[in-house]
Amino acid sequence: MTIENAELAKISLNSYVTMKITFANMLADLCERVPGGDVDIVTAAIGLDKRIGQKYLTGALGYGGPCFPRDNLAFDYFARSVGTKAELAQTVDRLNRVLPEAVLARLGVTVAPGETVAVLGLGYKPQSHITEASQGLMLARVLARQGARVIAHDPLLEKFAANELNDDNIVLKSLNDCLQEASTVVIANPDPAYASLEASDFAITNGPVTVVDCWRMLAPKLSQHPKIVYSPIGRSRK
C-alpha cells in the first residue's frame, strides 16, 4: 500500500458510500410517483442481496458533515488532476446539494409569507452538534428564502448554532415551542427525541398541521390522524 493508493482508497470509499445514499434517495423520489410505492420495502428487498447490503440504503434526505461532501469533491479534483473525469462523483455531489429544495417541491410544501415552519434536527446526523453541510440546515434556509418564519430545534445545538442561524433569520426554540407555534413541521433528522413524539404534541387544536417526515419515523402515529397532513418522503403520493 503506497501513500497514493491509500489516499485514493480513502476518498473513493466515502465517494462510493455517498453514491449509495444518493441512489436510495433517488428510489424514494420514484416510489412517491408509483401507486403503492414504498422506499422502505424496495430498499429492504435489494439490501438482502449480499452484494449490496442494508447500510446507507435509507431513502430520505442526503448526506452532510465534514467528510462525505469533502471527499466527493476531492475525488473529482484528483481525477481531473491526473487527466481524467470522475463524473459519477460530480453528479452525486450536485444531486445532494439540490435535494432539500427538490424534496420540498415534490412533496408540495408551500408556505405563505410569514407562515411559521419548524425544522427539527439541524445536525448533519442524530446527536451531533455539527451543522456543516447539514440537510436540515439547508432545508431551513430554503424555507426562509421562500418567506417562511423558520424556527428550529436540535437537542445539541442551542449554543453551537445560534449565531450561524441568526444570519438566516432562523430562530432556535425549545421543542415544545416549535411544535406549538408551527403550522408546518419538518422532521429533518432521525434523532430519538423526535421518534417519541405523539400527535397530541403538535398544535392540532389550532387547525390542521402539516408534518413532513423525512425519515418516516412517525408514520404509525400520524398517518391516519384527522388533523394532521402527514407527508413522508419515499411513499406513494398517488
Helix/strand/coil for 144: helix
Separation of alpha carbons 91 and 208, rounded Å: 38
Would you tell me how many other CB atoms lie within 10 Å of the CB of residue 159? Answer: 9
HSE of 88 in the Cβ direction (CA atoms, 13 Å)? 10
Cell 463524473, located at residue: 87
Of 125, 127, 69, whose CA–CA distance to 93 is shortest? Answer: 69
In Å, what is the CA distance from 26 to each residue of 43, 92, 99?
Answer: 11, 11, 10
Catalytic site includes residue 67: yes
Find residue 212's DSSP bridge partners.
186, 231
Would you tell me how many other CB atoms lie within 10 Å of the CB of residue 55? Answer: 10
Question: Do 189 and 142 form a contact (C-beta atoms < 8 A)?
Answer: no
Catalytic residue, chosen from 31, 67, 178, 214, is 67
Q: What share of the chain is helix, strand, coil (3-state, %, to 5)?
A: 45, 10, 40
Q: Which residues are catalytic?
A: 67
